[in-house]
């Protein structure tokens, strides 16, 4: 079974802190994604990566950066957390090919106070 894990289910941080959200997948998938989910706004893509050290901006990259130093790990970084980044963050991975589904992690609910 494909497994996508996220470092925390719940996280509380203060405004201005640097925040790291980690995602690890164990199925050698080329592609990894970070989404943000807010009530009424559905899933919004922040960044995705199609290979190690490769990344592309999604729909809402402002205020975020990412790192993919190893194939299995994709990190989302909030350089200086703000209250409007309070949200549910979902990581996903997917093999190459438009026929494959995305596999999701359990999500991290981040609160910035």
Partner 1 sequence: AQKVTQAQTEISVVEKEDVTLDCVYETRDTTYYLFWYKQPPSGELVFLIRRNSFDEQNEISGRYSWNFQKSTSSFNFTITASQVVDSAVYFCALSESLYGQNFVFGPGTRLSVLP
Asked if 11 is part of the footprint of partner 1 (rule: CB under 8 A), the reply reads: no
Q: How far apart are CA 28 and CA 112, in angstroms?
A: 32
Q: Which of 7, 13, 50, 61 binds partner 1 (CB under 8 A)?
A: 50
Asked if 86 is part of the footprint of partner 1 (rule: CB under 8 A), the reply reads: no
Buried b (16+ CB within 10 A) or exposed e, 34-59: bbbeeeeeeeebbbbbeeeeebeebe
Query: Which positions touch partner 1 (CB under 8 A)?
Result: 30-31, 33, 41-43, 45, 48, 50, 58, 88, 90, 92, 94, 96, 98-107, 109
């Amino acid at each position: 079974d494909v497994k996508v894990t996220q470092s925390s289910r719940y996280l509380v941080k203060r405004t201005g802190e640097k925040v790291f959200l980690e995602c690890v997948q164990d199925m050698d998938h080329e592609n990894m994604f970070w989404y943000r989910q807010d009530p009424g706004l559905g899933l919004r893509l922040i960044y995705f990566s199609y290979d190690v050290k490769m990344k592309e901006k999604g729909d809402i990259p402002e205020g975020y950066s990412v790192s993919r130093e190893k194939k299995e790990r994709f990190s989302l970084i909030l350089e200086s957390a703000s209250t409007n980044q309070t949200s549910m963050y979902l990581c996903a991975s997917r093999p190459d090919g438009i026929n494959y589904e995305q596999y999701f992690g359990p999500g991290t609910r981040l609160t910035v106070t």
